[in-house]
Amino acid sequence: MAQALTNQEVVERYARASAANDLEEMALLRHADWVSDWPQSGERVHGSEAYDEIRKHYPGGHPSTELSRVIGSEDRWVVTPGNTVLKVVGSGDVWWGEWRMTYPDGQLYHVIDLIELRDGLVRRETVYWAPPFEAAEWRRPFVEPTRRATDQDPR
């Protein structure tokens, strides 16, 4: 990249590229030593080439993603190419993104992506996936419902 980007700009561009399945842009924004850990399945992906192959070979086609927000420390709002408004916040080398992912079979998952930068590039990601579930009936007297787990995120 000709002009150095701020860490916030790197994370914003990376999140947009990921949501758009733009593997080339993602690779440009990754550090040469990039890895992604998937603790729930006990896997680590080394490098953009391996990640690209996983995305290309996903059974039934790659899941669709909707980025809800990217978090750090100072609030700012941006609009994605898909015309989705998202909150982007933060500074420093550690960020996280919140996603909703819909798999080809229709399953919905909430995703948290912990993003660590080095030398102005994405160096490491740790990604967690969780399916939504309905709140336990016994907690209703103690909580304020914000939405059903399967509803669209109101942000």
Tell me which long-range contacts 25-28 makes (C-beta under 8 A, separation of at least 24).
26/51, 27/52, 28/1
For the chain, which residues score pLDDT lower than 70?
1-3, 73-91, 147-155
Predicted local confidence at residue 154, as pLDDT: 43
pLDDT digits (tens, 9 = 90+) for 13-46: 999 999 888 999 999 999 999 999 999 999 999 9
Q: How would you list the strands of the sheet with 94-102, edge to edge? A: 43-46, 30-38, 121-130, 108-118, 94-102, 64-71, 85-89, 75-79
Stated pTM of the model: 0.76
Predicted local confidence at residue 70, as pLDDT: 84
